[in-house]
């Protein structure tokens, strides 16, 4: 069973998808703690309503990014977390965090990486005029959305889409793909393979 910590900054819809899958018995995991860097994040209240421990740790109350990450690590370790999911967490984690959970930090991003990394990938896709975008679940490294890719899924960009319409279509696929990727982790099917200067994820076949 995966012992998860989930970091959020907003409404926590991807967190809810994880909790729904756990409740349905389709994801062998337990969410030990939900942390937000924003005390009024709607996802904290939603998690608490479902009996999940929550914590608000403001980045503004720490002098450096590294000090903030050290506080996150301490809270996650205290409750026995072994994998961390960044589910709409709007902070770039530092080596302090990544070294505490090596190759065990998962992020969901609303584009087909390496296209449109960083903030507001949906708006980037609309502005660029692509006909197809999607979402990516990947392991987190020290770059911005550059870690080894676990899974991807495509979503069409329809005529007349604006940023919000595309985001609404993408979020449905994000929920599905994130749960699917975490299922691969829970089944022990992920292997990180060194590939030259980069690493990649290999998916072990079913026995």
Q: pLDDT tens across 115-154, in order?
A: 999 999 999 999 999 999 999 999 999 999 999 999 999 9
Residues with catalytic function: 109
pLDDT of residue 206: 80
Q: What is the pLDDT of residues 1-55, one digit of tens each?
A: 999 999 999 999 999 999 999 999 999 999 999 999 999 999 999 999 999 999 9
Contact 47, 32 (CB under 8 A): no
Copy the structure tokens of residue 159: 């005529």
Q: What is the pLDDT of residues 54-97, one digit of tens each?
A: 999 999 999 999 999 999 999 999 999 999 999 999 999 999 99
Find the helix packing angle between 121-128 and 163-186, rounded to 10°. 130
Q: Alpha-carbon distance 101 to 85, whole Å?
A: 11
- 149 φ/ψ angles, rounded to the nearest 5 degrees: -85, 130
Q: Alpha-carbon distance 134 to 66, whole Å?
A: 32
pLDDT of residue 54: 98
9 secondary structure, DSSP code: S
Within the chain, strands assigned E span 2-8, 29-36, 54-56, 83-86, 105-109, 132-139, 149-156, 190-195, 198-203
Q: Which domains does the chain have, with CATH numbers?
A: 1-102 (3.40.50.170), 108-207 (3.40.50.170)
Bridge partner list, 109: 136
Contact 64, 35 (CB under 8 A): no
């Amino acid at each position: 069973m995966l012992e998860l910590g989930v970091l959020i900054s907003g409404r926590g819809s991807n967190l809810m998808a994880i909790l729904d899958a756990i409740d349905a018995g389709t994801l062998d995991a337990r969410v030990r703690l939900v942390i937000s860097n924003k005390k009024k994040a709607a996802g904290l209240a939603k998690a608490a309503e479902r009996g999940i421990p929550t914590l608000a740790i403001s980045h503004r109350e720490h002098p450096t990014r590294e000090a903030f990450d050290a506080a996150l690590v301490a809270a996650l370790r205290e409750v026995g977390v072994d994998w961390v999911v960044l589910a709409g967490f709007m902070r770039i984690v530092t080596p302090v965090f990544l070294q505490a959970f090596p190759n065990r930090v998962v992020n969901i991003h609303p584009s087909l990486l390496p296209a449109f990394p960083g903030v507001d990938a949906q708006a980037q896709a609309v502005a660029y005029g692509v006909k197809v975008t999607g979402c990516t679940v990947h392991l987190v490294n020290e770059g911005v959305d550059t870690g080894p890719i676990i899974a991807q899924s495509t979503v069409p960009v329809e005529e007349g889409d604006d940023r919000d319409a595309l985001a609404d279509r993408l979020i449905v696929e994000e929920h599905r793909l994130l749960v699917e990727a975490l299922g691969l982790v829970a089944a022990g099917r992920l292997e990180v393979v060194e590939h030259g200067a980069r690493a990649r994820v290999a998916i072990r076949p079913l026995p």
